[in-house]
Structure 1
Amino acid sequence: MSLDLDDTAVTTVTTRIGSEQRYTLADVEAGLDSLQSDEQRWRGSWRRAAGSVLLPVAVLVLLVVVWQLSVWIAQPRPDIVPSPLAVAQSFGDLWSSGRLQQAVLTSLERGVFGFLIAVAVGTPIGLLLSEVPLLRRAVGPLISGLQVLPSVAWVPAAILWFGLSDATAYFVVLMGATPSIVNGLLSGVDQVPPQLRRVGKVLGASRWQQATLVVMPAALPGYLGGLKQGWAFSWRSLMAAEIITTGGTMGFGLGTLLDQSRQLADLPGVIVTIVGILVIGIVVELLVFAPIERRLARARGLARGEAR
C-alpha cells in the first residue's frame, strides 16, 4: 500500500511538527520543576523547614548548656548569675500566677494596635511625599530625623500630655514607628522604574490612581521592609514606655513586669521577661512578616531555593 502526500499535506504536517516541537521546548523551559516528583518536592520543603527550625534550636540548646556548665564550674553568686534551673523555676512561678500571660496579652494588644495606627498614619504620608517632590524636600529631612531620634525621648512629653495612661504608650509607639514606615515606602517608590509611571499616564490614570494602582504595588518590597522596621521600633518603643510609665491607669505589661522584677532584685524574673520580649519579636517575624515576604518574592519570581 502506497502513501501519497501532496505538497500541502507535507507543509501542514511539517508545520504541526514544528509547532509541536516549539511547544514542547517552551513547556520544558517553563516547567522544569515537573521533572521532580511530588515526594521529592515534599522532602525538599520539609528539609528546608526542618533546617530553619532545628539550627536555631540547636544553637539555643548549646547556649543553655554552656550557661549551666559555667554556673557549675565558676559558682557565681546566684543573685548576679542565676542558673537556667532558677530561671525555669521563675518562669513556672510567673506562669502559675497568671502574671506572665497578663503581661504578654497587654503588651501585644498595645503593640499591635499602636502599630496599626502607625501604618494608617504613615502610609498616606509616604504616598503624599512620594507624589509631591517639593513637599518631600521640605519634610523628608524631618522624617529622617524623627527616625533617628530614640523613641524613649518622647516618654516624658507623653506623660505630661496624656498622664499615666495607655494613650502615652500608644503615642510613643506611633512616634517610633511612623518615620520608619514613611521612609520604607519612599525607598520602595524610589526603586520603581519610571516606565511604569509612563504606562499609567498613557492609559489615562489619574495622579491618585498612579500612586495607588501603579506605584504602590511596585513599591511593595521597600514598603514591607519599612513595615518590618516599623514593627521593631513599635515593640522597642512600647517596652521603653511601659518601663517608665508605671502606675496610674497603665495596665500590667511586659515592661511593667520587667521593672517590678528589677525593683525586687529578682534577676531570674528579669531574664524570663527579657526572653519573653525576645520570643514575641521572633514569633511575629516568623508568623507574620516572613510568610508575606516569601509570597511576595514567589509572585515576582525571586524566591530562592524553590527548585532545589
Structure 2
Amino acid sequence: MRMRKILPACVLSCCLTGLMAPAAFADGCPDQEIAVETLKMKRAEDSEKAGKLKEAFNAAKTVAWECLGNDAGKRREALIKRVGRTLGDQEEKQGRLKEAFDWYLAAGLEADADRVMLKRANAKPDDTNAVGNAIDHFKRRNNEARVREMRGIAARNVDKWLTAEDKAFAARKDSREELGKARDWVYYAEAGSGKVTERAEKRGDTLATDDARRSIENAIAYYQFADKPQKAKGVRDKARKLGDEHARKGENKLAVEFYSLAGDDAKAAALEKKSEAEKQKTESARQDKFKKDQQSLEKELGL
C-alpha cells in the first residue's frame, strides 16, 4: 500500500517538471539558434564537396560551433584549415604570396603564414611594404630572430641607397630622391639615421658655397632634410643679398627668384610690381612711338 502511494507522486512530479521545462538548450543556445548554426555548417560542408571553396571557408567561419558541441567544432576547425590550406596553396603556386599569406593566417595555419611571409620578403627585398609587413608580422609572433633578419635587409637597403645617392649627386648635384629612399629604409632598419642626415648636411654645405640660384635652392632643401634650420637660414640670408645685387644691376627677374628663395615675399612682390610698371611704361612708350612714326609716314605719302 505504501508503494502505491509513493509511485503516483513520483509520476506526477515528473509530469509537472516536463510541463514546466523551457525549450531545449545546448550550451545556452535555444533550439532555433542550434537549427540555424546546423544549417550553416551543412552549407559549408556541401560547398566544400561542390568545390566552392571560398564559399565553404566563409560559411564555416560564421558558424557558432559552441551551439553545436565539440564534434561540430572539430569538424568546423578541420574544414577551415583544410580549405584554407588549399586556397593558400593555389595562390602561392601563382606567385600571389600576399594573398596566400592572408588565407593561411585566416585559417589559423601559423607555420604556413610565417613561411610565406618570409618567402615574400626574401623575394622582394627592395620593397618596403614586403619587408615592413614581415617585420610587423614577426613582431606580433614574438619571433625576434626573424625581426632581426628583416631589419638586416632594411639596413642593407639604407647602404644601397646611400651609394646610389653618391652617384646621383656627382652626376646632377641633386640626390634628394635617393636620400629619401634611404630614409624610408631607416625606419624599418631602426639604424642608419645619422648616416642619412649627415650626408644631407654635407650636400648642403657643398651647394651653399655656390651663387647659382639652383644651388642655393637645393642647399636650403638639403638643410631642411637634415633638420638644420640655422644653416638653412644662413643660405636664405645669402639668397637675400644675392637678390639685392641682381636688383641693383637691374636684373629684376633673377632678383625676384632669389628673394623668393630667401622667403622675403614682400621684397619679391614689390620688385615684381615695380618691374610690371616699368614694363607697361616701356610698352606705352613703344606704342606712342609707333603711332607717331605711322602718322609721319602717312603724311609723307599724302594719306
Q: Name the TM-score, length of structure 1 as normaliser.
A: 0.21
Bigger Rg over Cα: 2
Q: Name the TM-score, length of structure 2 as normaliser.
A: 0.22
Identify the structure with bigger relative contact order (alpha carbons < 8 Å, sequence gap 6+): 1
